[in-house]
């Protein structure tokens, strides 16, 4: 066989091998359709002038720097984000005392700066935002929406609408305007109680989601989500939770909630119950340090399981616009955003000095008690006759209550000091921050049993109540600052030899 024939045969064999090899390999996968455009809405409301939890209890939720880290984490997913707030943002109440004004205004400035750094897109204006008047609120440079106000947002190329209102007429008119401008999805920020918002959802307003930003006079302790044609949600007040709504632009028509979210809600509710139980156990009075560490580790583990369950994807309806809704607790295990933590640290440095300066310039001493009233004798006087009871008190946290504030650099914070000293703002007590050094440090005998100057003068004639009602304890051990307070559990820890221990 000549060389030319050999070369032709070899070429033919190679060609056959290539063809057979190509037939043996699996065909290439078909081209996948492009993922549907997706944006995320992050929602807050009813912050009531809260930059962070007081820290009186263990593992408290909240804190603007932690919430900011949640927002940053969503942005790191590569998603366009819009941050919306449903109002009652700036102040804890609609009226402030003259002494509160310097510190609360400084806090409002910090809240506004922190939210600007977080990229706030719109905020409804509630009555707690107007405690210092509209000019002050306007001067903060926040993207306010008054009653009936509407705004069209461009979020990652998608047109989204936001309307603020507490009536069907206001929401409907705003939604109609935004629809005419091409809004594909509209959020209604509702400054009304939960029950009213539910009625608005049933009445029909043209919006796709209602977010409640008004908890009324009492605290909004629960995250709430009512699924329906128009979902209604409310997050815990004072910045303890955010809500996250992911929008998937996969078709046309109204957005449909993803299938399977109800099952996930049930799983999350069960984990939330476990978290609250662990939080209560962690906050148990007199807990040994080793047990505290073990419970804290278990809490962190369950919080991680909850975060994983919340992040697990659910089935999306094909060929339509879809939405998923998640409620995100602002847990103490979250990191803090350095940019927003810087804002809070600056506030903490300023507020005490502002309050102290006001007290020195304008403060007034407490009025003297009336003819039937009594002044405060002070702990040293009590000790003279009740040495055993005083020795018991010295071993309790009540004795170190003011020192604990000083350690946290909050001894000049008006929202804290009243529950950490004796006789604050009471006749014959102490009414000035600049006079605290003269007050009995800590929560002393008279904080529970009442002012004792007259009793000290005539102990056999003027009696003080030996047993203290639970209502007295709850003036400070309230739901906000001591969420797991149990009178029957806590009381034995402050009783002892000579102090009604039975």
Regarding predicted confidence, which is higher, 47 or 217?
47
Asked whether residue 289 carries a pLDDT value surpassing 90, the answer given is: no
Q: Return the CATH number of the domain spanning residue range 366-494.
A: 1.10.1130.10
Please report which confidence band the pLDDT of residue 501 belongs to, taking 50, 70 and 90 as the band edges.
Answer: low
From 332, 337, 348, 347, select the one nearest 65 (Cα to Cα): 337
| Alpha-carbon separation of residue 343 from 132, 336, 476 (angstroms) | 21, 12, 28
CB 160 within 8 A of CB 39: yes
Question: Which residue's entry shows tokens 């008279």?
Answer: 446
Tell me what the pLDDT averaged over the chain comes to.
Answer: 87
Please report which confidence band the pLDDT of residue 29 belongs to, taking 50, 70 and 90 as the band edges.
Answer: very low
Q: What is the pLDDT of residues 298-319, one digit of tens each?
A: 888 988 888 888 888 888 888 8
H/E run at residue 254: strand 252-257
- Return the minimum-mean-pLDDT range out of 196-210, 270-284, 455-469: 270-284
Whole-angstrom distance, CA of residue 445 vs CA of residue 87 = 41
pLDDT score of 35: 56
- Return the minimum-mean-pLDDT range out of 31-45, 93-107, 249-263, 432-446: 31-45
- 40 CA to centre of own chain: 19
Please report which confidence band the pLDDT of residue 118 belongs to, taking 50, 70 and 90 as the band edges.
Answer: very high
Q: What is the pLDDT of residues 54-85, one digit of tens each?
A: 888 888 899 999 999 999 999 999 999 999 99
Asked whether residue 186 carries a pLDDT value surpassing 50, the answer given is: yes
- Give the rounded percent of residues in the chain with a pLDDT score beyond 90: 59
Backbone angles phi, psi at 145, to 5 degrees: -125, 120
From 437, 461, 325, 297, select the one nearest 378 (Cα to Cα): 437
Question: Which residue's entry shows tokens 């809004």?
Answer: 183
Averaged over 365-376, what is the pLDDT?
Answer: 89
Q: Please determine whether the domains at 38-259+315-339 and 366-494 fall in the same fold group of CATH.
A: no
Q: Does domain 38-259+315-339 sit in CATH 3.60.21.10?
A: yes
Whole-angstrom distance, CA of residue 122 vs CA of residue 80 = 15
pLDDT score of 19: 36
Asked whether residue 40 carries a pLDDT value surpassing 60, the answer given is: yes
Whole-angstrom distance, CA of residue 5 vs CA of residue 11 = 10
Please report which confidence band the pLDDT of residue 220 belongs to, taking 50, 70 and 90 as the band edges.
Answer: low
Looking at mean pLDDT, say which of 234-238, 483-487, 495-499 comes out highest.
Answer: 234-238
- Return the minimum-mean-pLDDT range out of 103-107, 158-162, 295-299: 295-299
> pTM for the full model?
0.84
Q: Where are the domains of the chain?
A: 38-259+315-339, 366-494
């Amino acid at each position: 066989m000549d060389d030319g024939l050999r070369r032709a045969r070899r070429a033919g064999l190679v060609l056959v091998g290539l063809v057979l090899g190509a037939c043996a390999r699996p065909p290439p996968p078909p081209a996948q359709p492009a993922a549907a455009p997706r944006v995320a809405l992050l929602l807050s409301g009813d912050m009531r002038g809260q930059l962070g939890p007081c820290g009186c209890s263990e593992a408290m939720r909240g804190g603007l720097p932690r919430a900011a880290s949640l927002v940053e984490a969503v942005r790191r997913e590569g998603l366009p984000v819009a941050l919306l707030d449903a109002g009652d943002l700036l102040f804890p109440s609609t009226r402030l005392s003259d002494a509160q004004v310097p510190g609360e205004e400084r806090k409002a400035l910090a809240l506004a700066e922190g939210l600007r750094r977080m990229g706030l897109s719109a905020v409804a204006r509630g009555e707690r935002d107007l405690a210092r008047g509209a000019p002050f609120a306007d001067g903060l440079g926040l993207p306010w929406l008054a009653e009936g106000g509407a705004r069209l947002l461009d979020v990652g190329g998608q047109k989204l609408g936001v309307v603020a209102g507490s009536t069907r007429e206001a929401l409907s008119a705003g939604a109609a305007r935004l629809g005419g401008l091409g809004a594909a999805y509209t959020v209604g920020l509702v400054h009304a109680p939960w029950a009213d918002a539910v009625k608005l959802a049933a009445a029909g307003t043209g919006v796709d989601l209602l977010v409640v930003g008004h908890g009324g006079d009492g605290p909004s302790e629960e995250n709430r989500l009512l699924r329906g044609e128009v979902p209604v949600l409310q997050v815990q007040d004072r910045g303890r939770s955010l809500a996250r709504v992911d929008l998937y632009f996969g078709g046309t028509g109204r957005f449909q909630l993803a299938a399977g979210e109800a099952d996930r809600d049930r799983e999350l509710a069960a984990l939330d119950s476990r978290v609250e139980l662990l939080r209560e156990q962690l906050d148990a009075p007199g807990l040994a340090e080793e047990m505290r560490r073990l419970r804290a580790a278990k809490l962190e583990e369950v919080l991680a399981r909850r975060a994983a369950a919340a992040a697990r994807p659910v089935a999306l309806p094909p060929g339509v616009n879809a939405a998923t809704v998640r409620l995100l607790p602002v847990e103490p295990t979250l990191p803090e955003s350095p940019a927003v933590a810087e804002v809070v640290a600056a506030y903490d440095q300023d507020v005490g000095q502002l309050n102290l300066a006001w007290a020195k310039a304008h403060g007034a001493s407490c009025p003297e008690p009336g003819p039937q009233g009594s002044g405060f004798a002070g702990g040293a006087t009590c000790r003279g006759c009740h040495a055993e009871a005083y020795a018991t008190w010295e071993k309790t946290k009540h004795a170190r209550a003011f020192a604990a504030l000083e350690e946290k650099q909050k001894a000049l914070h008006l929202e804290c000091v009243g529950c950490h000293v004796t006789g604050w703002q009471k006749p014959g007590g102490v009414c000035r921050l600049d006079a605290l050094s003269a007050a009995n440090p800590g929560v002393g005998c008279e904080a529970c049993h009442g002012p004792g100057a007259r009793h000290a003068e005539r102990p056999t004639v003027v009696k003080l109540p030996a047993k203290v009602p639970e209502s007295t304890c709850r003036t400070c051990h309230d739901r906000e600052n001591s969420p797991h307070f149990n009178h029957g559990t806590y009381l034995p820890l402050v009783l002892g030899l000579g102090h009604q221990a039975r």
